[in-house]
Amino acid sequence: MKTLKLLGLPVLLSVFLVLLSATDPSKEIERIHDSANVLKAFGKMKESIPHDLLESYQGVVIIPNLLNAGFGIGAKRGRGVALVKLPDGKWSDPVFITLTGGSFGFQIGMQSVDMVLVFRHKGVLTKVKNGDFTIGGDISAAAGPVGRSSTASTDYKLEAEVYSYSRSRGLFAGISIHGSNLSIDKSANAAFYGNDMSSQDIFETGKSDHEAVRVLKETLNAL
C-alpha cells in the first residue's frame, strides 16, 4: 500500500503538468504579440497597407513568420489570428487560425515572411466552423494596393474579395497564396478563451480585456 501511495504522487504530478500545459495560453499570447509587431512593421514602411482599405473592408488575417519552403514545388505553413468588424465598426477579439498548403512557383530553399490578408466581407471568415476554405478555390485573392491611401493607386477599385500583403526583410515580397487553406485553430482558441467559446462566439465579441488583445487592436486601428 505504501508503495502504491508513493507511486501515486509522481503520477498525479504528471497528470497535473499535462493539464496545466494544455490550458497554458502563453503560446497564444506570444502569437497575438507577434501579430501586433507585424502590423507595426507594416506601418513603418514607406508604402504600407492603405488606411481606407482597412476602413472599408471587414476582416483581416495576420500571420507572422509564414514559412515558405520547397524544392521545385513550394509549400507554406503559418499560424496567426483573424479579426472582423463588429456592427459598431470596432474590431472583434482575435480568432486563432492556421494557413497551410499552396504553391508559389519554383523555389529551392526556405523563406519566412509576414503576411496580412484583408477581407472584403467578414462572412467569409465567420462562416468557417468545423471546416475551412481554400484561397483561390472558394474565394479569390489579389495582391493589395500600397500607399497611405488607396486613392493614390487609381487602378484599384477595392473590389477583390481578399487583398494579400507579404513582407520579408523590410520589403514587400510577392508571395502567391493561391491554393492555400485557411482553417480555425480550435486548440489555440480553447487555450486562450476556454472550451466554451467557439470561433463564431469570439468573432461576435470585442470584450477581451487582455493587454495583448488591446495592443493588437490599437495597432490595427493606427495603420
Over the chain, what is the mean pLDDT? Answer: 78
Looking at the predicted structure, is the pLDDT value of residue 168 above 70? yes
Q: Is residue 131 part of a domain?
A: yes
Distance of CA 76 to the CA centre of its chain: 14
Q: Is residue 9 part of a domain?
A: no
Confirm if 56 and 93 have CB atoms less than 8 A apart: no
Q: Is residue 217 part of a domain?
A: yes
Percent of the chain whose predicted confidence (pLDDT) is above 90: 39
Q: Is residue 129 part of a domain?
A: yes
Q: Is residue 136 part of a domain?
A: yes
pTM of the model: 0.80
CA distance from start to end of the chain: 65
Mean pLDDT for the stretch of residues 127-145: 70
From 223, 221, 219, 222, select the one nearest 89 (Cα to Cα): 221
Q: Is residue 119 part of a domain?
A: yes
Structure confidence at residue 179 as a pLDDT band (50, 70, 90) = confident
Phi, psi of 186, deg, nearest 5: -65, -40
Q: Is residue 15 part of a domain?
A: no
Q: Is residue 8 part of a domain?
A: no
pLDDT number for residue 196: 86
- For β-strands 141-143 and 162-168, DSSP reports them as parallel
Show the domain range for 123: 27-222
